[in-house]
């Protein structure tokens, strides 16, 4: 069914890579709506193409050529993942089928926007045009609209009313569809849904000002994050900025120095790296560093580990970069050695790649066991190591992918005779949250640089509070117990406070 609510513009949620087909008779307002909400380069109009290949928009003899061009433009845009709005009557079953097939071929969602404008308004608008469509043609179009409307629900992924559209990344659009499906009447739950914890991931320190201002800004962000309800703060453990985030010469603080600083600036949040490459330090020395952080933070340390991947920084700092198989062996050694270092006595350890005659570390950590988190989603090796040794894992992907990975983890736990409930599942994603669509547009435009709004929206998973509540709810239902978020605008006033509204929904 079409959404007839004119008071909830957030329901007109359109994915950044969607095919959007406008459906309605002449005078229903399709072109006016498209021109108001989309850039000219996003709208493919059959009327304008008739003018391009013929003598004007009213040149019906140019219709066949115009639609051939339209189909080609639609195909090429969808192949590139570009938001494409088709402005035509939308009444031709064969053409709609062709456009939907093209969208499916390229893995793009297909959305119809149905214009249920009253017949008298359509006739009045058409009559006021410089070149009105004949009255009997409008009458036929209105009749055809009634025939087409019931077909749209089965033809398109979503059918919307022409309310204020909000362009969102595909994960937020998918979350909306899940939320609508879950809204179907069901028996009341026997117990409330589990909560969800949130961690703030800091991956960049390129805030305005000189280097001397990084510390105060960082402390302010940490305190505001704690006040907003975040349960943990995580930093990357790199010596060069990684290409996925910024440029090599941008500021990158030492991870454990930063965590020590954050321990003094906060009182409650847990602190850790997401994650420390296993090649960066002597493992016994890493145990000492993390134990010291735990003592100085009154038992708030987490130990994030990974197999390491950034070859450029190894070369820059003169560190050996073993083969992946050797790094995995070193990672498993660390997973075995670290708890020995933090535990009682001074046992000898001999592993696959490393060993020590005396696994000892004083002072002991405050926690009886510092949680060890392993980053990475590799189903064969990484998740097997998690099931065998770790307390948590950090996964990448949206709910369907997370659900599959959690199922793999549970199978590994069964093979290791371990209760999967002992392992915390976390997920990391980039996020930008605004209070409403107007603020969302302003934030995207202020941060996107040379990227198009759609490119930045995708990269930042940008949306309003309700969009993110739906998505994080789906991640929780897929098995995530703590969501790690990298806020694109974390240094901007109000960013953390806006995200607090998302956190509040899961308390």
CA–chain centroid gap for 211, Å, is: 30
Q: Which CATH superfamily is domain 9-168 in?
A: P-loop containing nucleotide triphosphate hydrolases (3.40.50.300)
Lowest mean pLDDT among 8-12, 308-312, 391-395, 404-408: 8-12
CA-based Rg of the chain, rounded to a whole angstrom?
28
Calculate what percentage of the chain has a pLDDT beyond 90.
Answer: 85
How far is residue 499's CA from residue 333's CA, in Å, rounded to a whole number?
38
Q: How many residues does the chain have?
A: 507
Q: Domain 278-504, CATH 3.20.20.30 — does that match?
A: yes
pLDDT of 81 strictly over 70: yes
How far is residue 175's CA from residue 446's CA, in Å, rounded to a whole number?
26
Half-sphere exposure of 127 (CA within 13 A, CB side): 9
Q: Are 49 and 66 within 8 A, CB to CB?
A: yes
Q: What is the pLDDT of residues 136-168, one digit of tens each?
A: 999 999 999 999 999 999 999 999 999 888 899
Per-residue pLDDT, 63: 81
Q: Is the dihedral of CA 468, 471, 475, 476 positive or negative?
A: positive
pLDDT of 11 strictly over 90: no
Task: Identify the burial level of 326 via C-beta atoms within 10 angstroms of its C-beta, where 0-12 means exposed, 13-18 middle and 19 or more buried.
Answer: middle
Per-residue pLDDT, 161: 93
Per-residue pLDDT, 45: 94
- The band of 176, judged by pLDDT with boundaries at 50, 70 and 90, is low
Per-residue pLDDT, 130: 87
Could you tell me the two tokens for 343? 């535990």
Could you tell me the two tokens for 77? 């845009």
Per-residue pLDDT, 181: 59
Mean pLDDT on 475-491: 96
Q: What is the pLDDT of residues 334-355, one digit of tens each?
A: 999 999 999 999 999 999 999 9
pLDDT of 216 strictly over 80: yes
Domain locations in the chain as residue ranges: 9-168, 278-504
HEC letters along 85-153: EEECCCCCHHHHHHHHHHHHHCCCCEEEEECCCCHHHHHHHHHHCCCCCCHHHHHHHHHHHHHHHHHHH
Per-residue pLDDT, 179: 59
Task: Identify the burial level of 217 via C-beta atoms within 10 angstroms of its C-beta, where 0-12 means exposed, 13-18 middle and 19 or more buried.
Answer: middle
How far is residue 487's CA from residue 434's CA, in Å, rounded to a whole number?
11
Q: Which residues contact 504 (CB under 8 A, 6 or more apart)?
A: 229
Q: What is the pLDDT of residues 17-61, one digit of tens each?
A: 999 999 999 999 999 999 999 999 999 999 899 889 888 878 778
- Please tell me whether residue 272 adopts helix, strand or coil conformation: strand
Per-residue pLDDT, 23: 97
pTM of the model: 0.88
Mean pLDDT on 190-212: 85
CA–chain centroid gap for 85, Å, is: 24
Per-residue pLDDT, 454: 95
Per-residue pLDDT, 207: 87
Q: Are 389 and 379 within 8 A, CB to CB?
A: no
CA–chain centroid gap for 208, Å, is: 26
Could you tell me the two tokens for 357? 């005659």
pLDDT of 1 strictly over 60: no
For the chain, the average pLDDT equals 92
Per-residue pLDDT, 208: 85
Mean pLDDT on 185-204: 74
pLDDT of 223 strictly over 90: yes
């Amino acid at each position: 069914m079409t959404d007839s609510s004119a008071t909830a513009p957030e329901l007109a949620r359109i994915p950044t890579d969607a095919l959007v087909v406008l459906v309605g008779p002449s005078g229903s307002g399709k072109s006016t709506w498209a021109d108001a909400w989309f850039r000219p380069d996003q709208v493919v109009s059959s009327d304008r193409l008739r003018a391009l290949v013929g003598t004007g928009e009213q040149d019906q003899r140019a219709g066949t050529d115009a639609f051939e061009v339209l189909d080609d433009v639609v195909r090429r845009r969808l192949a590139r993942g570009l938001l494409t709005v088709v402005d035509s009557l939308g009444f031709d079953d064969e053409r709609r089928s062709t456009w939907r097939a093209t969208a499916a071929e390229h893995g793009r969602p297909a959305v119809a926007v149905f214009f249920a404008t009253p017949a008298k308004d359509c006739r009045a608008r058409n009559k006021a045009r410089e070149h009105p469509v004949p009255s009997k043609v409008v009458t036929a179009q209105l009749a055809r609209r009634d025939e087409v409307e019931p077909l749209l629900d089965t033809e398109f992924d979503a059918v919307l009313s022409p309310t204020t559209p909000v362009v969102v990344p595909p994960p937020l659009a998918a979350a909306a569809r899940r939320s609508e499906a879950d809204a179907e009447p069901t028996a009341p739950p026997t117990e409330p849904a589990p909560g969800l914890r949130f961690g703030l991931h800091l991956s960049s320190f390129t805030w305005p000002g000189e280097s001397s201002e990084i510390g105060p800004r960082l402390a302010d962000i940490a305190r505001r994050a704690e006040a907003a309800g975040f349960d943990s703060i995580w930093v990357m453990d790199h010596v060069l900025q990684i290409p996925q985030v910024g440029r090599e010469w941008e500021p990158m603080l030492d991870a454990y120095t930063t965590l020590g600083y954050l321990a003094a600036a906060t009182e409650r949040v847990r602190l850790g790296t997401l994650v420390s490459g296993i090649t960066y330090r002597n493992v016994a020395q890493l145990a000492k560093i993390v134990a010291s952080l735990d003592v100085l933070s009154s038992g708030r340390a987490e130990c994030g580990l990974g197999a390491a991947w950034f070859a450029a920084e190894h070369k820059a700092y003169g560190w050996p970069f073993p083969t992946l198989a050797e790094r995995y062996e070193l990672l498993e050694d660390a997973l075995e050695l670290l708890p020995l270092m933090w535990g009682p006595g001074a046992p000898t350890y001999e592993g696959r790649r490393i060993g020590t005659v005396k696994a000892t570390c004083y002072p002991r950590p405050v926690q009886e066991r510092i949680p060890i988190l392993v980053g990475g989603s590799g189903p064969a090796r990484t998740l097997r190591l998690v099931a065998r040794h770790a307390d948590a894992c950090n996964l990448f992907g949206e709910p369907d992918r997370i659900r599959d990975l959690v199922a793999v983890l549970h199978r590994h736990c069964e093979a290791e005779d371990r209760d999967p409930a002992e392992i915390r599942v976390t997920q990391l994603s980039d996020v930008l949250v605004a209070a409403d669509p107007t603020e969302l547009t302003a934030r995207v435009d202020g941060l996107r640089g040379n990227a198009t709004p759609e490119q930045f929206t995708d990269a930042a998973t940008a949306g309003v509070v309700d969009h993110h509540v739906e998505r994080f709810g789906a991640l929780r239902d897929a098995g995530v117990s703590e969501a790690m978020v990298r806020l694109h605008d974390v240094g901007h006033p109000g960013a953390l406070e806006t995200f607090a509204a998302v956190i509040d929904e899961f308390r």
